[in-house]
Amino acid sequence: MNYIWILLLFVYPATSDEVYQNSSHICDQCLCEDEDEFIIDCSRQQFEHVLANWPPHNKTLVATFSYNNISTLEKLPISTQKAKLVFDHCNIKYLDSGLFSNIRNVEYIDLSYNLLTTEEIGGDDFRGPYSDKRYRPIAVKYLNLAYNQIHSLPVKFFENMPDLEELNLQGNDFKVLDPTTQVALGSLTKIKVLNLADNELTEIEGSLLRNLPTLYSLDLSSNHLDFVPLTLSYISNNLKVLKISDNYIFKLTDQSFLGLDLIELHLNNLPRLNYVEANTFATLKHLKKLYLRDNENLNYIDKEAFGDNQIIDELDLSNNSLVNLDFNLINWSKLKILKINFNPLRCTCDLYNISQSLPKYITRKLDSPMCTDMENEDSTPVFFLKSTICSQDHPLHISNAIQHFNKIRIAMIVLSSLLLSGTIVTVILLLLRYRKTVAFRNYPFATQVSYYPIQTQHI
The stretch among 22-30, 54-62, 123-131, 395-403 that binds ligand NAG (CB under 6 A) is: 22-30
Contact yes or no for 376/352 (Cβ under 8 A): no
Contacts 24+ apart (CB under 8 A), 349-353: 349/389, 349/390, 349/392, 349/394, 350/324, 350/325, 350/326, 350/399, 351/324, 351/325, 351/382, 351/385, 351/389, 352/385, 352/386, 352/387, 352/389, 352/390, 353/327, 353/390
Q: How far apart are CA 385 and CA 37, in angstroms?
A: 55
Q: Which stretch binds ligand NAG (CB under 6 A): 16-24, 121-129, 344-352, 366-374?
A: 16-24
Binding mask 246-285 for ligand NAG (x = CB under 6 A): -----------------------x----------------
User: What is the separation of C-alpha 32 from the centre of its chain, rounded to a whole number of angstroms?
Assistant: 37
Find the binder of ligand NAG among 24, 388, 391, 455 (CB under 6 A).
24
User: Which of these ranges, 20-28, 146-154, 326-334, 374-382, lies near ligand NAG under the rule CB under 6 A?
Assistant: 20-28
Binding segment for ligand NAG among 21-29, 178-186, 366-374, 435-443 (CB under 6 A)?
Answer: 21-29
Q: How many residues in the chain?
A: 459
| Sole binder of ligand NAG in the list 67, 227, 327, 342 (CB under 6 A) | 342
Q: Considering only 18-26, 201-209, 223-231, 348-356, which stretch makes contact with ligand NAG by CB under 6 A?
A: 18-26
C-alpha to C-alpha distance for 303 and 350, rounded to whole angstroms: 11
Using CA atoms, how far residue 421 sits from 424, 425, 430, 432, in Å, is 5, 6, 14, 16
By CB under 6 A, is residue 17 in contact with ligand NAG? yes
Residue 69 within binding range of ligand NAG, rule CB under 6 A: yes
Residue 52 CB, shortest distance to ligand NAG, in Å, is 7
Region binding ligand NAG by CB under 6 A among candidate stretches 17-25, 171-179, 356-364, 438-446: 17-25
β 370-372/379-381 pair status: antiparallel
Q: Which of 310, 319, 348, 380 binds ligand NAG (CB under 6 A)?
A: 319
Q: What amino acid is encoded at 300 in this protein? A: Y
Measured from the CB atom, the residue of 219 and 316 that comes closer to ligand NAG is: 316
Gap between the Cα atoms of 93 and 145, Å rounded: 12
426 touching ligand NAG, by CB under 6 A: no
Q: Considering just the CA atoms, what is the radius of gyration of the chain in Å?
A: 33
Question: Total number of residues binding ligand NAG (CB under 6 A)?
Answer: 13
CB of 98 to ligand NAG, least distance (A): 22
Per CB under 6 A, which of residues 37..66 are in contact with ligand NAG?
48
Beta bridge partners of 379: 372
Should residue 133 be labelled a site residue for ligand NAG when binding is judged by CB under 6 A? no
**Closer CB to ligand NAG, residue 21 or residue 101?**
21
Contact with ligand NAG (CB under 6 A): which of 1, 25, 133, 455?
Answer: 25
C-beta closer to ligand NAG: residue 248 or 327: 248
Closest CA to 161 of 104, 235, 214, 215: 104
User: Which amino acid would we find at residue 127?
Assistant: R
Cα–Cα dist 73/91, whole Å: 10
3-class state of residue 127 by DSSP:
coil
Contact present, 77 and 102 (Cβ < 8 Å): yes
Report, in Å, the least distance between residue 303 CB and ligand NAG: 24
Beta-carbon contacts of residue 50 (< 8 Å; ≥ 6 apart)? 20, 21, 65, 70, 73, 74, 75, 76, 77
- From 12, 15, 31, 71, residue interacting with ligand NAG (rule: CB under 6 A): 71
Nearer of residues 17 and 375 to ligand NAG, judged by Cβ: 17
- To the nearest whole angstrom, how small is the minimum distance from the Cβ of residue 76 to ligand NAG? 18
CB of 383 to ligand NAG, least distance (A): 19
Residues that bind ligand NAG (CB under 6 A): 17, 22, 24-25, 48, 69, 71, 91, 269, 294, 296, 319, 342
